[in-house]
Amino acid sequence: MDFVMKKLQIFLSLLVFLLPGCSKTPTPLKLKPNMVSSVSMPWGQALYYSQSRKITCLLVTEDYLWAGTNQGLQQWSLEGNRYQVITSRDGLPDDNVKALTISTSGSVWAATGKGLSSWTNGSWQNRTLPVEGEPTALAATVSGDAVWAGTTRGLAFYVFGRWVVYSSKAHVTALKPNAESGVWLGTKANGLFFCENGTCTPKPSPLLEVTAIDMEGDDVWVAGLSSDNAPMFMLLRGGKSYIYDAPARVGWIQRYGGNPLMSFGSTIASVVPCLEPGKNSFINRTRKAPCLDAVPFSKPLPMRITSVYRTGGNLWVGTETLGVTRYTESDMQQYTADDLVSSNVMGMSLECVPGTRRCFFSAGKNSFIYEHGAGFSPIPLVDHPGWSLSYFVTNPDGVLTAVARNGQGTVSFFERNGDGAWNPRTENPVTMETNDPNVRIRFAHYTKPYIVWVGITTSSSQYNGIQIVNFEK
């Protein structure tokens, strides 16, 4: 009998979620797009193709703006006068940064495609997760020096220098710490949970996949997709749950200007209270649900928004190609991601392959390949760690070569083979030991297929100036 009553209670709970607020079938809410992916020009549509660094997550600390990207971790001083990119060469487990958080003690945590790392007192320390899967989410506790870490295969809690495993199966999509204790957990296929004291408790909801969670005071906002892939969001308030239809999949939720700000596909809008339903109201699926209207974000938005973060009255918006924009009540400020050409780069080169739409570009220690329609992507030198391609040049036989250097000031020459891999030009590589980590390659020019003239600026008097290299000697 108890079992039958429990099943009846579950059925009634789900029925309440799905009951509309009125008997008449409401008209689905439609919003006009206010987030663009192209710009209208006199001659047509201009698109941004550069994929140099797509911002995936944001974090703002006392002195810095941190932006995780698919190619390293960017760091700006908030004054905008200092900028650097931190990669696996600087200690990160991987260049693909998925999530960021900061603990109450001031340690910055980064989740990458190959594991976790924490930054304390200027150095990175890699962390071994006790659960399998690729890291997907991070969240620091509101009080106490502890961090929640989610992966595609589980959830773990780092406290007092050790890990506590909460789940070894859940595909974590979102984490939001509760103000007092515990964390709200969103999953890919199992809905919403609340985790504390070693266990995770499922929360009744029509959401199967949770895409975003945010909270303010006692209000918890959760968005996702139902079992039939319908976009919805939910408000947890005063021990009750209220379900609303969303006009499109909700990518993120952030409180801003006193109300939740949500991304609905190509539209960003605030969710604000209303007195009675109107043409801009969300359809509710719960009896006596508060009336909520959609108010599109009125300020100019950058193209291709990928992530958002809020600190006080500031809203930070990360993009796919145009860096970070900070919105305040009165103005906006750009933190640009000019990753291909940093302001302190002293040398650049560009070499395009005739008959193709492929070019090779170097700027300082970074080198990129440009493919038409795909944009810039970094050139990996997996088999030659510590080396960077500094100057590209094609020899008279049509072979693409590069003058390379490493962190110890050694200069050498690389060639690109048919598989796209870069390796030293000869079996016995020609090297110039300048012993100057800041050595710069000014130019390179072939007079014969085996003779190249190279301009070098270095503190080494032996190699400073023009060097003539004969590969047949």
Helix (H, G, I), strand (E, B) or coil at 16: helix
* pLDDT at residue number 236: 96
pLDDT digits (tens, 9 = 90+) for 336-361: 654 444 545 557 788 988 888 889 98
What sign has the CA pseudo-torsion 43, 47, 52, 55? Answer: positive
Which H or E run includes 307?
strand 305-311
* Residue ranges per structural domain of the chain: 17-335, 348-470
Cα→Cα distances 172→85, 115, 193, 276, 330, Å: 28, 15, 10, 37, 37
pLDDT digits (tens, 9 = 90+) for 195-239: 999 999 999 999 999 999 999 888 999 999 999 999 999 999 999
Q: Copy the structure tokens of residue 70.
A: 């698919």
* pLDDT at residue number 346: 57
Q: Copy the structure tokens of residue 75.
A: 């760091």
DSSP letters for 361-381? EEETTEEEEEETTTEEEE---
Domains 17-335 and 348-470 equal at CATH topology level: no
Per-residue pLDDT of the chain (473 residues; tens, 9 = 90+): 443 344 444 444 444 444 444 445 667 787 777 665 554 544 444 444 334 578 999 999 988 999 999 889 988 888 766 778 888 888 899 999 999 999 999 999 999 999 999 998 878 999 999 999 999 999 999 888 899 999 999 999 999 999 999 999 999 999 999 988 899 999 999 999 999 999 999 999 999 999 999 998 889 999 999 999 999 999 999 999 999 999 999 999 999 888 999 999 889 999 999 988 889 999 999 989 999 999 998 887 877 788 999 988 889 988 887 778 888 877 777 776 544 445 455 577 889 888 888 899 887 777 888 877 666 677 888 788 889 899 999 999 988 999 999 989 999 999 988 888 899 987 788 999 999 988 889 999 999 999 999 999 998 889 999 999 998 87
- Amino acid at site 292: L
Please state, in angstroms and rounded to a whole number, the distance separating the CA atoms of residues 86 and 101.
16
Helix (H, G, I), strand (E, B) or coil at 336: coil
Topology of domain 348-470, per CATH? Answer: Neuraminidase (2.120.10)
The answer to whether residues 351 and 393 touch, using CB atoms and an 8 Å cutoff, is yes
What sign has the CA pseudo-torsion 124, 103, 63, 212? Answer: positive
* pLDDT at residue number 94: 92
Domain 17-335, what architecture? 7 Propeller (2.130)
The answer to whether residues 163 and 155 touch, using CB atoms and an 8 Å cutoff, is no
Q: Does pTM top 0.75 for this prediction?
A: no
225 closest CA partner among 245, 201, 239: 245
Residues composing the chain: 473
* pLDDT at residue number 12: 43
Q: Say what the alpha-carbon torsion angle 430, 434, 437, 443 is, to the nearest 10 degrees.
A: -70
Cα→Cα distances 143→104, 146, 161, 231, 457, Å: 7, 8, 16, 33, 52
DSSP letters for 68-123? EETTEEEEEETTSS-EEEE-GGGT-S-S-EEEEEE-TTS-EEEEETTEEEEEETTE
Q: What is the DSSP letter of 11?
A: H
Please state, in angstroms and rounded to a whole number, the distance separating the CA atoms of residues 443 and 366.
16
Q: Say what the alpha-carbon torsion angle 418, 420, 425, 429 is, to the nearest 10 degrees.
A: -130
pLDDT digits (tens, 9 = 90+) for 260-304: 999 998 899 999 999 888 899 999 999 899 999 999 988 878 777
- Residue 186 has a CB neighbour count (10 Å cut-off) of 26
Please state, in angstroms and rounded to a whole number, the distance separating the CA atoms of residues 244 and 361.
49
Burial 407-422 (b: 16+ CB within 10 A, else e): eebbbbbbebeeeeeb
- Phi/psi region, residue 217 (left: phi>0; alpha: psi -120 to 50; beta: rest), is left
- Amino acid at site 6: K
